[in-house]
């Protein structure tokens, strides 16, 4: 029996920074399903619109009452009338909402209004089909089944940029436990190293320096990337994981790009301003000194020339890390296509709220895969307790994701869900592997179209 939408309600709720966000509740004949929308701080200028009540003083102009109203008064009646079957028509539902909006960047209804409905529809579809959400998303994406790929979790343990009050211009310094054998072991390695890092920071800077940034990582008084990476080397060694944990960075460089230069002193006023070539040299120097396997947004969102030059030169660099576009590509097939033409990067950061529907995010991921790029699923710095992206990562077989430190509820809910999925797959006798050092290419591993059937899981997804 098909699953039709009988009601959609929405409400203003809080995200992890204490700012309002959209919550959607969608009911079908199979139950009620939710979607809670995340929000960025280092937002790319090409992202779809996050609709905020800027003319109101409530929540400092950050309310989302208009977006909530758009869900209940515009999207809900139109979608209910169409009688879509959420089990088989997610793409049609998402396309219909885009049409209803009628603008390029979802400027009329807001990507935050549309995404909440899209997420809830995906959940309703999975429940109607009596399969887990990750399995439903896998089928939507047309991804291979066996083996299921558990991702390498990239833990953001040192926060800078617009995510913290310290003086570091670079936004995120991450740990990637590529030497683990399962997501459960990777989480343990990440959490133990996070605690070792706390001890290292306390010893060096005193206990007052262990305050954290927006994504749960520490924000000690450092400004140079090498200082951050040295702290990680020490913490990994202290935790006993040298050689098993590698590093990644997201400088989020659009935030410190000013008049053609990269101003590393944007926060401390003493670090240098670098030319694009100077910053490129700094990255290459860091690659030789530290085990860096991924670099995201090394350059600003429209500095195409520098991205392409860096990639071209990368061919000469031994063990060149994956170069991931975030603000550059904004989970948008048009921007991904442009980046592919310009050979600007070889990895796509996948953030569902950058584009505003689940189906469009899947399309962007598939386009990236078709060019042998990696796909790196991501949370936002303003998160919620919604764990949707854990299922998305497994369903799409992306092999890696980042969702903050192994601490704070809105971050750990995703890591916990991944461990639940791993347990469930193993208990069902499914073929399941941890991506490990192969995280960039795990998507195409295996080859079996179908495995045995995964039962509808006990966690209610
Ligand atoms: C990023 C993200 C998530 P924000 O730049 O990759 O870590 O930050 O959500 O603030 O854009
Ligand atoms: Mg980023």
Tens-digit pLDDT profile for residues 106-119: 999 999 999 999 99
Q: Is 215 a catalytic residue?
A: yes
* Long-range contact pairs involving 234-238 (C-beta distance under 8 Å, separation at least 24): 234/200, 235/157, 235/193, 235/194, 235/196, 235/197, 235/199, 235/200, 236/175, 236/193, 236/196, 238/196, 238/199, 238/200
Ligand 1 atom nearest 43 alpha carbon: 11
What spacing in Å lies between the alpha carbon of 83 and ligand 2's midpoint? 38
Q: How far apart are CA 440 and CA 200, in angstroms?
A: 31
Residues in the chain where the model's pLDDT stays below 50: 451-461
Reported as type and span, the H/E element at residue 18 is none
CA distances 11 to 66, 112, 155, 460, Å, are: 10, 12, 31, 22
Residue 446 has a pLDDT of 77
Q: Of all protein residues, whose CA lies closest to atom 3 belonging to ligand 1?
A: 380
pLDDT of residue 283: 98
Looking at the chain, the number of H-run helices and the number of E-run strands are 14, 16
**Ligand 1 atom nearest residue 44's Cα:** 11
Terminus-to-terminus CA distance in the chain, angstroms?
A: 19
Query: Pick the catalytic residue: 351, 360, 383, 414?
Result: 351
- Beta bridge partners, 248, equal 174, 294
Q: Is 351 a catalytic residue?
A: yes
Q: Is 43 in the pocket of ligand 1 (CB under 6 A)?
A: yes
pLDDT of 411 = 98
> Does ligand 1 come within 6 angstroms of the Cβ of 326?
yes
* 252 Cα: distance to centroid of ligand 2 (angstroms): 5
Q: Which of 50, 135, 140, 215 is catalytic?
A: 215
Centroid of chain to Cα 394: 13
DSSP for 35-92 reads: EE--B-SS--TTSPP----TTS-GGGGT--HHHHHIIIIIIHHHHHHHT-BTTT-HHH
Residue 86 vs residues 28, 211, 351: alpha-carbon distances, Å: 9, 44, 22
3-state secondary structure of 418: helix
Instruction: Give 444 Cα–ligand 1 centroid separation in angstroms.
Output: 27
For residue 208, the tally of other CB atoms under 10 A from its CB is 9
Q: Residues 209-233: pLDDT tens digits? A: 999 999 999 999 999 999 999 999 9
| Residues by chain with Cβ below 5 Å of ion ligand 2 | 250, 252, 296-297, 326
Domains in the chain (CATH in brackets) are 5-130 (3.30.390.10), 141-444 (3.20.20.120)
pLDDT for residue 454: 39
Task: Indicate whether residue 380 lines ligand 1 (CB < 6 A).
Answer: yes
Cα 425 from chain centre: 23
pLDDT at 451: 42
pLDDT tens digits for range 46-73: 999 999 999 999 999 999 999 999 999 9
pLDDT at 449: 54
Residues with Cβ < 8 Å from 20, sequence gap 6 or more?
12, 13, 14, 59, 62, 63, 64
Q: How many CB atoms neighbour CB 139 within 10 A?
A: 17
d(CA 188, CA 209): 24
The ligand that comes nearest to the alpha carbon of residue 404 is: 1
The answer to the question of whether 327 is labelled as a binding residue is no
Centroid of ligand 1 to alpha carbon of 128 (angstroms)? 33
């Amino acid at each position: 029996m098909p699953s039709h939408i009988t009601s959609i309600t929405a409400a203003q709720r809080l995200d992890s920074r204490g700012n309002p966000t959209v919550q959607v509740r969608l009911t079908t004949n199979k139950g009620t399903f939710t979607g809670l929308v995340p929000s960025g701080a280092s937002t790319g200028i090409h992202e779809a619109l996050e609709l905020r009540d800027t003319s109101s003083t409530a929540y400092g102009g950050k309310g989302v009452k208009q977006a909530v109203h758009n869900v209940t008064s515009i999207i809900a009646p139109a979608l209910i009338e169409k009688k879509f079957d959420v089990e088989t028509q997610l793409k049609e539902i998402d396309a219909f909402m885009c049409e209803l909006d009628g603008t390029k960047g979802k400027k009329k209804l807001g990507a935050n209004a549309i995404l909440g409905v899209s997420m809830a529809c995906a959940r309703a579809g999975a429940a109607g089909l009596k399969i887990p959400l990750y399995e439903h998303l896998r089928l939507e994406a047309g991804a291979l089944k066996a083996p299921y790929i558990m991702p390498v979790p990239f833990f953001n343990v040192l926060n800078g940029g617009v995510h913290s009050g310290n003086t570091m211009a670079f936004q995120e310094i991450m740990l990637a436990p590529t030497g683990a054998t399962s997501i459960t072991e990777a989480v343990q390695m990440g959490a133990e190293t996070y605690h070792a890092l706390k001890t290292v920071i306390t010893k060096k800077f005193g206990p007052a320096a262990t305050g954290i940034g927006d994504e749960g990582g520490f924000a000690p008084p450092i400004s140079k990337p090498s200082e951050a990476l040295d702290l990680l080397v020490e913490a990994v060694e202290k935790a006993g994981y040298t050689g098993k944990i590698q590093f990644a960075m997201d400088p989020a460089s659009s935030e410190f790009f000013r008049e053609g230069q990269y101003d590393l002193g944007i926060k401390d006023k003493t670090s240098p301003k670098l030319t694009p070539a100077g910053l490129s040299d700094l990255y290459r120097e860091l690659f030789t000194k530290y085990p860096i396997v991924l670099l995201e947004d090394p350059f600003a969102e429209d500095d195409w020339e520098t991205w392409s030059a860096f990639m071209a030169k990368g061919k000469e660099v031994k063990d060149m890390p994956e170069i991931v576009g975030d603000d550059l590509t904004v989970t948008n097939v048009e921007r991904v296509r442009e980046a592919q033409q310009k050979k600007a990067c070889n990895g796509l950061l996948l953030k569902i709220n950058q584009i505003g529907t689940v189906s469009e995010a899947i399309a962007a991921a598939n386009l990236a895969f078709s060019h042998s790029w990696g796909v790196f699923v991501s949370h936002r710095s303003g998160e919620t307790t919604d764990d949707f992206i854990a299922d998305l990562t497994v369903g799409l077989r992306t092999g890696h994701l980042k969702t903050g430190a192994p601490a704070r509820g809105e971050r750990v809910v995703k890591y916990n869900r991944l461990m639940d999925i791993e347990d469930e797959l193993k208990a069902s006798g499914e073929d399941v592997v941890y991506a490990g050092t192969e995280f960039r290419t795990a998507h195409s591993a295996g080859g079996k179209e179908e495995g045995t059937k995964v039962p509808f899981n006990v966690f209610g997804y």
